[in-house]
Amino acid sequence: LPAANQGHPHAPHFRNNQCSSAPSPSQNPLPTRPNPTFDSPSITHSGPPPPSCSTLTAPNYHLDNTDTMAEIRRKLVIVGDGACGKTCLLIVFSKGTFPEVYVPTVFENYVADVEVDGKHVELALWDTAGQEDYDRLRPLSYPDSHVILICFAIDSPDSLDNVQEKWISEVLHFCQGLPIVLVGCKKDLRYDQKTIEELRKTSQKPVSPEEVTQPHPSIIAALSPRLLSTPLVGEEVRKKIGAHKYLECSAKTNEGVREVFEHATRAALLSRSSRKSSHRKCMIL
């Protein structure tokens, strides 16, 4: 990260990390050292040619480790529309550099050493593909997670709609009970004149902070009439969709990046349900 963050008492500590290709359904998604190389599961792909998936080094991530060990390990999965800023957010946080070239992701893993509230946490960061072509492959990343980041792009109102229409239902289906953090990416584009002009051509505008707190029509329909007349509607909607927190950030300027992962790490430290339930599910792809 930039030097401005290095003196912060809660600033995360990084090391050079690589990622691992996605494990097959029959293998443990959290391998132990030595780090084997897994083949991505084969799927029928009818869309455009898939981007390449890098072979990366997975963390030493055990299911049975406890918080009393010298190093606590947690798993974070990030989801959201394609090109909404997920990968840039992870790379800036874990490597301190902003990638200028967009390369679509299938599966990639990063690792960051984070210190929060006096605890040292090895945080495994699982990046996923947001395109519909990978809807059947993406669920392989969810088992044994501790916290989920659902991202949208502030310069793309459609990506916020998809958070409410697609991503929340998918996460609740595969990761019920896990803490969810809603993240607005590309904050630097909210007042960017070029972005505003491009959106104006389609009668749109960048997402404002107020819009994020407004309930989606489908959620309003699911709420009781009593809730609609109370000041707590926004809070009830956030509870209903499972988002513990809403945060905004800009990977390009580094604004808010550290805060996103500090909050996510704290939420992950309180999360235990995925360990107990992940092996009791039957996943049909």
What's the rounded Cα separation, in Å, for the pair 75 and 201? 40
Per-residue pLDDT of the chain (285 residues; tens, 9 = 90+): 444 444 444 445 545 444 344 444 444 454 444 444 434 444 444 444 444 444 333 343 333 344 444 479 999 999 999 999 999 999 999 999 999 888 888 889 999 999 999 999 999 999 999 998 899 999 999 999 999 999 988 898 888 778 878 999 999 899 989 999 988 899 999 888 898 899 889 888 887 766 666 655 554 454 443 332 222 333 444 566 768 888 889 999 999 999 999 999 999 998 764 444 444 455 555
Of 175, 137, 143, the closest CA to residue 285 belongs to: 137
Q: Residue 90: phi, psi to the nearest 5?
A: -70, -40
DSSP code at position 201: T
pLDDT score at 218:
52
The pair of structure tokens assigned to 213 is: 């707190």
Domains of the chain, earliest start first? 3-22+53-276 (3.40.50.300)
What's the rounded Cα separation, in Å, for the pair 248 and 78? 15
Helices (H) and strands (E) in the chain, counts: 10, 6
Note the pTM of the prediction, 2 decimals: 0.65
pLDDT score at 101:
85
Yes or no: say if 156 and 187 are a contact pair by the CB < 8 Å rule.
Answer: no
DSSP strand pairing (72-80 vs 119-128): parallel
pLDDT score at 249:
93
pLDDT score at 144:
96
Tokens 């097959």, located at residue? 24
Handedness of CA 173, 178, 179, 181 (dihedral sign): negative
**Sequence-ordered alpha helix ranges (H) in 104-208:** 157-162, 168-174, 193-200
pLDDT score at 93:
97
Distance of CA 125 to the CA centre of its chain: 8
